[in-house]
Structure 1
Amino acid sequence: MKTNTLIEIITIILSISISTERIVTVAKTIWPEFLDNEKTTPSGQLDKVADKRRRISVQLIAFIGAWFLASFINKENKLNFFGDVYFLSENIKIPSFIIGILATGGSTFWSSILGIIKANKEIKNQHIVENRISTIEKNNIISLENDIKSDEVLSKIIAINSPTHIPS
């Protein structure tokens, strides 16, 4: 996969992810008593069992919002929940619900993406260094060949001009 394609995919997923966060914020504003109040224990820590319904509801709202947004990114630019998202740089298509899942992946997903981007950048830099080294080596070989030719010519000139040289 080309770097441009990777950047295109990441850009679309990131924009949907950011938009989805706004959708969740709006939903929490509309229904604060249910979506915005975390259930806690008397000591103030999150009660995962009591807060389960709220957390699942927030995640579902995020996924449905991301899926909805991804459903507009298709060749027809019309809402199509079961259509594919097209990436033009390599004519790749990914189902819109998969883009919805990726966009709601959270910090673990984005940490993984960051790792992929860093690895891609390191590979690119390594190729650049290898190309520079290859160019330097080629230039050194050409220079060495020229030096050898110059030495051969110089040796012939010296041999011709030497007092012991007898022309044939």
Structure 2
Amino acid sequence: MERWFNDSSEDIRTCCDKALQTLRAQYGWETLDVTVPEIEEMRLAHYVTIGSECTASLAKYLDKLKRSEIGWDVRVALGVYGSFSSRAYLNSQRLRNRQMFFHKEIFKTADVIVSPMTGVTAYTLQDDALSSGELDYINGAALIRYSIAGNFLGLPAITVMVTDI
């Protein structure tokens, strides 16, 4: 998990390390490092799945809208999502099953997986975000990076606000 965790910003890593130390000290938690295999593949499979399911569920509504009624950020996202093939979706579901197996193996020795919920602190919104939408895939990906396993695999997850302890 180390490489994945290192993708968060320094302040996030520091804050989470302190939170784990507090859990160890106050509740006697034992911690161990775990590795989730194929985590980058899971991230990509999640995007294909969520994008495919988004466009499929919204298709009947989107067909009734004029392109000018949809923000350019949404048009770009829908264009990308619409490019996913049924083969890519099916492969993503195969990866979902593999990831569920990997996670079940981890849960044989661990009760929970603790990670940051987000990889970065909130970034400044662009001045024109309200009128034009927000299209920032780099920061957007960092914001949701650690919530993917729970969402993609349907695992129970909880977010706990942690401040500089």
* Structure showing the higher strand proportion among its residues: 1
TM-score normalized by the length of structure 1? 0.29
* Structure showing the higher helix proportion among its residues: 1
Flag the structure with larger Rg.
Answer: 1
